Amino acid sequence: MGTDESAEYPRKELSHAIIGAAMKVLNVLKPGLDEKLYEKAMVIELHKRGHKVDQQEQFPVFYGGQEIGKLIPDLIVDDAVIVDPKVVTAFNETHIAQMIGYLAITGLRLALLLNFKHAKLEWKRVVG
């Protein structure tokens, strides 16, 4: 494991970089817009900062050896962190459970929920 990995806090430096990009996006766009606008702005800001961003990548979901559908996370940064922009009053158990499911299907270890509803960015790390 490199300096960016630990069992308690995987991808620490990358998650800090993503949160920094989200703060910049919120400062420019201001709170309360549509989630997709923040998602698109995050792609632009992360690319400007030298990160690889996959948007709306599809992952097949299997049950009993048969594909039952597709899972489509909003963003995956540097093939390592799922990023899900939200505009919600507060994160709830459904948001966290969704990220746990995404981590299980993608095989990644960290998801970041980002909330752009308020003047101050809120975030939640979900470790799988």
Chain Cα centroid distance, residue 21: 12
Q: Is the pLDDT of residue 2 over 70?
A: no
Tell me the pTM. Answer: 0.90
pLDDT tens for each residue of 27-82: 999 998 999 999 999 999 999 999 999 999 999 999 999 999 999 999 999 999 99
C-alpha distances (whole Å) from 32 to each of 11, 39, 83, 90, 101 are: 28, 13, 18, 13, 27
CATH hierarchy code of domain 12-127 = 3.90.320.10
The Cα–Cα gap between 116 and 99 comes to: 17
CB of 58 closer than 8 Å to CB of 36: no
pLDDT tens for each residue of 85-114: 999 999 999 999 999 999 999 999 999 999
- Please report, for the chain, the start and end positions of each structural domain, with discontinuous segments joined by +: 12-127
